[in-house]
Structure 1
């Protein structure tokens, strides 16, 4: 069985845009081959030097051969490329920073592309000596998300967890994966639940459980299926309305919030204001038991760590 050439997995040097990642990959490769000594401090073994020089040149796009044709050693090749493409000047920093702060999920084809673009741009800035604070980068990842992700941001805020780029990146990617699971249904039969569990795809953004399309959530759906769903819910006394949302745990009035739910539950009718008749008569729980809905209204909920700010949340 033929062995795989590691050179095939390293992207060729095309210019300034990929120089830093190329340099990292090639340095690691030369170290693995015991050839980095030809670059730093410089070759003492002529045979090794020829080998290192050849390998570096094979990893350069032919359009860039002009920078290394006169080089006699592997070290000269390396330094020539560094002088040509290692741009750490102000213009480069300004360009990368502009790309970083203007990148948004709406400008990318999917969540994975958005996260990768932000993280790779920040990595390029750090490689040229520009300090990118980890908490600031995590906050920037959240700032580039559309309004459909606001519940997730509120949940992170109320959790008290320290913001970091890795934490936010993981949270965003998990949110997309969780949109493929049966966490929250509105007026869905068991047949539809099984259908959607089999119909997982590589959608762009969150999936709507009303029209089964990607790019928006059910609360923002404008399809004709949503209108039909609303009509059915108004004429039916039963429905799979919400999974566990917000409920009183004990007499000390603690709360548990489900950021994915648009309507929450409480047994404290006296806390609600703007009370009105609910659109559904019963709520079916995860254990198949049904609860009677007496009405719905709003509640001003104080979020820890938010100062004097309150969140107005709808309850049934």
Structure 2
């Protein structure tokens, strides 16, 4: 039997594991041993009408049954996580093993119900977790409760699912709550998945733009070539190392001061130059002069 196709049984996946295991046992004709349909043949006691041949045939059939049942038991054990083997190691037949697993993992007592209800109410998705896995776990707990006879109102399930989402879904949650009618749990599941897929696509586009920008910056830097090495010789102006005389700060400072001094006589000359010539305009309404004695 190809048991590699299913995950090993753990405390968290019994319901899924059971369905897959039953399918594999059905394929290998072993399901009848675990559900009690194929029982072990009895061995009659010799005497009366029971002949040695009849007893021998019964013993042969019982031996064949034991061999087939051991194979089914081995197939089941190989599909159980090593940490869970200790709970069923003393089971001698495949049916005994199967019933033991049901009693451990398929309990319908108050403690099991309380555990599943607590999981629904308190379990919250983390920002970096997959939304599909979170929703799958949520509805898996709902299905288990329904199998125990615990039915939860659809509106309550919708609210519990909404508030199990992380803070990044706050705007989405508010949009759902402001509707006149809450969506059914199944419809909400689809909307959450659509919202998560849209966010992934947007994040992918954003990352692509960032990568493109970095690529362009790197390409531009390559065109500019490697940075030039620092000038190793002395400046002829200030005698300091590390720059040329054309780049010397002292040279530029001196040139600026020289230009300033040259501009002073020009301003003085322009200010000292005066003239007494008048320009008369017959159309002018008034004339101006710097000296009042001229009027």
TM-score by length of 1: 0.48
Asked whether 1:14 is paired with 2:10, we answer: yes
CA spacing shift, 1:101–1:40, aligned 2, 3 Å: same
CA contact (8 A) 1:13 1:19 kept: yes
CA spacing shift, 1:181–1:22, aligned 2, 3 Å: closer
Aligned with residue 199 of structure 2, among 179, 196, 199:
179
1:177-198 superposed Cα distances (whole Å, 9 cap, x missing partner) = 212456xxxxxxxxxx996384
CA spacing shift, 1:151–1:67, aligned 2, 3 Å: closer
Asked whether 1:125 is paired with 2:145, we answer: yes
Higher helix fraction (1 or 2): 2
Aligned residue runs from structure 1 range 56-95, under 5 A: 56-95=76-115
Q: CA deviation at 1:174?
A: 0.9
Asked whether 1:25 is paired with 2:45, we answer: no
Q: CA deviation at 1:29?
A: 2.0
Instruction: List runs of 5+ in structure 2 lacking aligned partners.
Output: 41-64, 211-295
Aligned residue runs from structure 1 range 1-316, under 5 A: 6-15=2-11, 17-44=12-39, 46=65, 48-106=68-126, 109-146=129-166, 148-153=168-173, 155-156=175-176, 163-181=183-201, 196=206, 198=208
TM-score by length of 2: 0.51
Q: CA deviation at 1:24?
A: 2.5
CA spacing shift, 1:181–1:40, aligned 2, 3 Å: closer
CA contact (8 A) 2:127 2:166 kept: no
Between the two proteins, the alignment pairs up a number of residues equal to 185
Q: Secondary structure, in 3 states, of the residue corresponding to 1:105?
A: coil
CA distance in 1, matches of 2:105, 2:86: 13
1:137-156 superposed Cα distances (whole Å, 9 cap, x missing partner) = 23321122356535434554
CA distance in 2, matches of 1:194, 1:18: 33
Instruction: List runs of 5+ in structure 1 lacking aligned partners.
Output: 183-192, 201-316
CA distance in 2, matches of 1:111, 1:65: 32
CA distance in 1, matches of 2:161, 2:183: 11
CA contact (8 A) 1:88 1:129 kept: no
CA spacing shift, 1:156–1:65, aligned 2, 3 Å: closer
CA distance in 2, matches of 1:97, 1:130: 10
Q: CA deviation at 1:78?
A: 0.8
CA contact (8 A) 1:108 1:114 kept: no
Q: Secondary structure, in 3 states, of the residue corresponding to 1:179?
A: helix
Q: CA deviation at 1:84?
A: 3.2
